[in-house]
Amino acid sequence: MAMHIEAWFPTVIWSSIIHCVDNLELKKFAYEKQKFDKGRSLSNIGGYQSNDIISGECHQIDKLVEYVEQELKECCDQVGLNPVKIFNVWLNINPPSSANQIHDHKDSIISGVYYVDACEGQGGINFYRSDPAEYFLNDVFPKQTTFNATKASYNAKTGALLLFPSWLKHSVDPNLTQKDRISVSFNFAYS
């Protein structure tokens, strides 16, 4: 008799490469926004994080949010959540050596990042396991798997979209290139 597997407390990260927005226009908007919006400092270390962008401020961001909202309907169905709506959206410009310290996104359900202009070496995003499994499994597994890993990492890549539970702790490695990494981040919540 085969055992039935049930995945309790799984952590879901959705990812895709999308082509529905004009990244050059988004990049131009990011640098223009940085000129007049002093931004805020939440998790960023040396980088720029804009204040929230309002609907209608940038056509390409509106297109991105509309696309993500459509995708999120399916994501929410997959995990049994009621549909969520955009809560806030902002820009990130991470110049050389900048990073983001470990954090989560309070007051939302699903968070995400879209890479406008990014490549390997510009600071990948790391997601951290929140239970103490590493103390039990450290010497048991000969290699790292999704079952025993303590961290999941994704390289920065232009066009990549990642969605994840807002409570999932994450950080961004330092940008080791001489070029800015530009991304759009967002939170979704119940309205």
All structural domains of the chain: 14-189 (2.60.120.620)
Cα 98 from Cα 54, distance rounded (Å): 26
Per-residue pLDDT of 34-72, as tens digits, reads 999 999 988 889 999 999 999 999 999 999 999 999 999
Beta pairing partners, 92: 49, 183
Cα 49 from Cα 41, distance rounded (Å): 7
pLDDT for 7: 83
- Statement: residue 160 has pLDDT above 80: yes
Cα 77 from Cα 158, distance rounded (Å): 27
- Statement: residue 114 has pLDDT above 90: yes
pTM: 0.94
| Token representation of residue 125 | 């995003």
Cα 115 from Cα 66, distance rounded (Å): 16
Cα 22 from Cα 136, distance rounded (Å): 47
Cα 127 from Cα 137, distance rounded (Å): 18
